[in-house]
Structure 1
Amino acid sequence: MVNPAHARQLGIVQMLRTRTHVPARELADRFGVTDRTIYRDITTLTSHGIPIQATPGATGGYRLAPEDPLDPLTLDSDQAMRLYVLGFLDPPTAGSTAEDRGRAAGVSSTMQEVMRRLAQRIHFDTADWYWRDEGSGHLPVLRTAMLTGTALEVTFRTEDGGQETALLKPYGVVWKAGEWHMVAARAAGPPQRYRLNLVDRLQPTDLTFAYPEGFTVSEWWTATMEDYGKGDIRVELHVTPAARAELLRLSLKSTSRVHEHDDGSVTIVLYVDRWEWLIPLVTSYGPDVTVTEPPALREAIVAQLRHALAAYDTGQAARPAPPAGLPHDDSRLRSTHGRHPGA
């Protein structure tokens, strides 16, 4: 069944879309709730980026920001993500249809048609063989906690193979390169990102938190992604024309440099915190991507390629041990996430 609060909030957006101004009292009467409930609904919607403005005066109410009208049939990916996380695009449960859920929640036939078209046109695939993400099952609990400001007790696996339990304040969720990431903060400290497929348990608590003033997940994520992996180690890659298009689709940093050559090849200069994660990336391109600097990375790639060739040598009784110094962490995932699967 549709969550009544979600359905009411979607109905509010629909009323604001068809009117230039709707008084708060009229919204409350339409949905049979108090003015305070409408205020909380508006706060929830605006906190997730829906462009709603309050209008002053004795008959004050709300309107959609005129510079950013929300059209349900021409949603961009960011708007679609907001609706998905809010639960408006959930598939029907067994034994019910979208129409059943709409009627049970008091959603008009017009709004049901909008929801039907949304579900028909928007899909977040969390079960693809290439980018399988086991963390999507946590979304129902996570989005409820985000909307209600409820702290979560989270048990997750750490990079060293251990397990940790922490009390977290969930600020948002991001779908990036085939994975869900939760943006959350501990009781004290700045926000961090947690991969949901490393989370074993999300348990709501009876503790609530106030959303930090001025904080937006999109701005925080953009800044964090820019800083992630940056460092002082200079890496120079020579890329042939065959691999040029795909390599230039990778997310480069503000410190990266690309030099074009007359033959169609490029030289890409990166400044990274460590070069180990580049080993699986460079070797996956064979001769089309070669390392010019640093020498240690060149030597590690040569050792890795020799190790791979030895594994295919039918004269070898057993696969030889891998060369020393290769990473045993998330380097392979780090190097491939963000690449275009169909390239």
Structure 2
Amino acid sequence: MSDTTARILQLLGLLQSRPVWTGPELAERLGVTTRSVRRDVERLRDLGYPVQASQGVGGGYQLGAGRALPPLLLDSEEAVAVAVCLRLAAGGTVAGVGEAAVRTMAKLDQVLPARLRAQVAAVQQSTITLEYNPVTVDPAALLALAHGIREEVRVTFGYEARGGERTERRIEPYRLAATGRRWYLMAFDLDREDWRTFRLDRMENVEVGTWRFKPRDAPDAEEYIRRSVTHGAYESTARLRMAVNAETMQKMVPRSVGTVTPVDDESCILEIGAEDLDMMASHLPRFGVDFVVLDPPELREALQRVADRISRIAATTA
């Protein structure tokens, strides 16, 4: 690598490290004159990097967001981190991202030095991905909603409820949330005049409008989405009094499945969801914690059915 090329890469790294550099500051760091800095800045611009220059107090050189995607400069740790994240993204929940991640991994592998390639390979070879049948979402819808949240503009889309009903929604988007299997949107529903949680895989024809809105006083997004997911994403939900403290229970229950509320030092309330009560009854004993069913009463019947089934199986001989 020539001295000029190395210096340009160093200049690019400096511009990426902080918002603004003055010409003299860059010249001192690079060990060249300010005239050389100006020439190197022009070379970066020729490569597609939008280096902006401003005069006066607080002025200097800064790297702007460009229309093109020029070469990306990564240090060793960043390159390994990107490669590992791409490996995980290859099995992600956004439709099309898995294929794009694989293509990008192949390109990155071609330019990684042998030492870094070995580090990435070590992580990949020692890691397995467990299949959990994620529900994929349209990346265009995801980007549109993210744009609506960032720019504070209204969004419209068609929505299919759990029962199959189709409606048109006008919303003010607030937050996106990704669970292990699904993506959710927290938004203010303009027609229902209340906060709602929507599953992205049930949306269609997502369109960002031009009508801006002033953000409303909103409930805590994480808590609201977590409770909505627990109560709205499953066919069956239940409230149980668990004979263990909340801190211990929270370690056993994923947030996308249930919520835990402390009662005292020896008990807590668990609100949990499942596809059906028999499935819930089969899983609850796995916690290894005694509990009392508060709601619904039908869960007690499901527990009895599961217990009877297990007793029959245990008593059966070959």
Q: Which has the larger radius of gyration?
A: 2
Q: Which has the higher contact order (CA 8 A, sep 6+)?
A: 1
Which structure has greater helix proportion? 2
